[in-house]
Chain A
Amino acid sequence: MTLFEMTGLSASYGARMAVREITLSLPEGGFTALIGPNGAGKSTLLKLLSGWLAPSGGSVLFRGKEISTWNERAFAREVAVVHQFMDSMPPFSVDEFVRMGRFPHRAPWQPYDVHDREAVAAALATAGIGHLAGRAITALSGGERQLAYVARALAQQSPVILLDEPVSHLDIRHAVRVMDLLHERAAQGTTVIAALHDMNMASDYCDTIIALREGLLFARGTPREVVRFETIEALFSTVCVVFDNPMTHQPYTFPVPDYLKKK
């Protein structure tokens, strides 16, 4: 079943068109990566899909209904959003922060019940940060914080999770943990859509890659279909070679340093 249906979707910030006439439908299920150079429109597209940004042209439907016409709380029960690293946050405890994911499931003044507490505990356990529950999120390291963001989205128990660069500033240990976690959710039926900087992460973990360039849809397909040196070179305007990752057997991109090209 189609989840997101984009038709001629455009978005602009003032005079700058960040997303231009994208027509694309995203089916339910799977792990989809949005890739492309900085400023390609990945974050903007996610903002459109999450309803935070209104399209300047075209339309985007979620389950057949224009996103702007969805009730905000009902939409939040369907779609969880993990934003890019937030630099200023109030010092809530990790537990309180993750519990915010339960907000759309209760009337705003209704106390949380056993079911909510269980969802929070499960989310913390899945993210492997149960031991940090009492700490202030502001006191966590970057990697732990990102896991807390993801745990908050898991507590939301929505069938869809959108993530904006969830691993771009993490060390490989935390990056792999987050990606493993998302991969597992996708395997269990959650639709995961993430903007990713690291193409090799996208290739290793995702079923579908959508490449954007200058706000336009550039390529779409499986990693095997999209991650080819011609495509990647044109996408990033950089010389590179593509080999298979010996473990995952997915295409792996190696940029070619300038000093080699001169030889």
Chain B
Amino acid sequence: MKTVDRRLLASILIIGSLAAVLLSLSLGSGFISPLALARSLAGERDSFEFIVLTSLRLPRLCMALAVGASLAVSGALFQSLLRNPLADPYTIGVSGGASLGATVAIVASLSAPWIVLAAFSGAVAVVAAVYLLAMRLRLGGTALILGGIALSFILSSGVMLLFSLSRAEQVHRALMWLMGDLGIARYAILLPGALLALVLGAAAWLHARRLDILSFGGAFARGLGVGRADVARIFWLGSMLAALSVALAGVIGFVGLIIPHIVRLVSGPAHRRLLPYSAIAGGAFLALADAIGRALAPPYEIPAGVITGFFGGIFFLALLLAKGRNEA
């Protein structure tokens, strides 16, 4: 692809993301036009718009941006590391571990920060297990994916066992969480969460050149001095990003899988562009999905995971069809 095309596409991506972010501030149980929002920021501190914006929509937007960016970057890392276009942040079992952790906390009626902590611990425990297994058996990419899937099944049995032993309202709470929802109050840990996402993302970006090389395979990478320690570090960065996003917002599907794919069409294969573009597009996509979920059927909130899956799936199918037509 020519440089000019790429620059144009990149501008479209960034402008589109900005528009999505602005739109997500306007959308909700009541529509507030961007103009009214801007006026409220300049005007009275106790206006209805100002309160809705600062105490409801802005923190939620920040959460969506942090979670979406983490998921998309994590997906890009795993797709390159495992050299598998179907890999996503949940491939290695992160979501299973987080689900079990969160379900235990919800069933035990713990408060929101504890649910987040339990989900995060569950995710990290599973990643550690997968990692140790991979080290012990010297597993390659495919075996790692299969191991992760096997583990996910075991963990989801655990979740279902807990469901069968719990009261209905707890099951409903846990189910909402599993569907991927930014709404359950988790603002207490928004700031540390967003900061951690930023640090992990920046660390991943410093590995851009190593990821470029690793996307040609392990043997190729070893020949250029990119070794097991680098692979392990990237594996952990991707896992922590995934664990963080699941802990903050539940299991939101599709962002980590499709966003890197779409972004690659714009950024090309080089990770120094792929990773930041993925972060921008992932964050904006999730923000918009969450806003649509809030606006569709007030006073109900449709979990963001439902929207990302639905629109993400349709968009991805359209992309496949268009690509198929081009190649035919």
Residues in A with CB closer than 8 Å to B227 are 72
Q: Is the CB of B226 within 8 A of A72?
A: yes
Q: Is the CB of A83 within 8 A of B220?
A: yes
Give which listed residue, A74, A91, A108, contacts B209 with CB less than 8 A: A108
A72-B220 contact in complex given A90-B269, A108-B210, C-beta closer than 8 Å: no
A162 to B, closest residue via Cβ: B223
Give which listed residue, B83, B223, B270, contacts A50 with CB less than 8 A: B223
Q: Is the CB of A109 within 8 A of B213?
A: no
A92-B224 contact in complex given A83-B219, A100-B213, A108-B206, C-beta closer than 8 Å: no
Interface assignment of B141: CB less than 8 Å from any CB of chain A: no
Q: Is the CB of A73 within 8 A of B225?
A: yes
Residue-by-residue, is A3-29 near B (CB-CB < 8 Å gives 1, otherwise 0)? 000000000000000000000000000
Interface assignment of B222: CB less than 8 Å from any CB of chain A: yes
Instruction: Give the Cβ gap from B283 to chain A, nearest Cβ, in Å.
Output: 23
Residues in B with CB closer than 8 Å to A72 are 222, 225-227, 229
Q: Is the CB of A77 within 8 A of B217?
A: no
Interface assignment of A88: CB less than 8 Å from any CB of chain B: yes
- Selected A-B contacts with CB under 8 Å, 24 pairs: A47-B219, A52-B219, A52-B223, A72-B222, A73-B225, A76-B225, A81-B219, A81-B220, A81-B222, A81-B223, A86-B216, A86-B217, A86-B220, A91-B269, A103-B209, A103-B210, A103-B213, A103-B224, A108-B206, A108-B209, A108-B210, A109-B206, A109-B209, A156-B224
Interface assignment of B212: CB less than 8 Å from any CB of chain A: yes
Residues in A with CB closer than 8 Å to B209 are 100, 103, 108-109
CA gap between A77 and B14 in the complex, in Å: 39
A100-B225 contact in complex given A47-B219, A92-B269, C-beta closer than 8 Å: no
Majority SS at the chain B contact face: loop
B217 to A, closest residue via Cβ: A86
CA gap between A100 and B227 in the complex, in Å: 15
Residues in A with CB closer than 8 Å to B140 are none
Residues in B with CB closer than 8 Å to A100 are 209, 212-213, 216, 224
Of A50, A72, A80, most B-chain CB atoms within 10 Å: A72
Interface assignment of B215: CB less than 8 Å from any CB of chain A: yes
A side interface size, CB within 8 A: 28
Instruction: Give the Cβ gap from B226 to chain A, nearest Cβ, in Å.
Output: 7
Interface assignment of A218: CB less than 8 Å from any CB of chain B: no
Q: Is the CB of A103 within 8 A of B226?
A: yes
Interface assignment of A204: CB less than 8 Å from any CB of chain B: no
Residues in B with CB closer than 8 Å to A166 are none
Task: Give A71-105 interface residues, CB cut-off 8 Å to B.
Answer: 72-77, 79-81, 83, 86, 88-92, 96, 100-101, 103-104
Residues in B with CB closer than 8 Å to A80 are 223
Q: Is the CB of A90 within 8 A of B222?
A: no
Interface assignment of B30: CB less than 8 Å from any CB of chain A: no
CA gap between A73 and B215 in the complex, in Å: 18
Interface assignment of A143: CB less than 8 Å from any CB of chain B: no
Interface assignment of B268: CB less than 8 Å from any CB of chain A: yes
Interface assignment of B207: CB less than 8 Å from any CB of chain A: yes
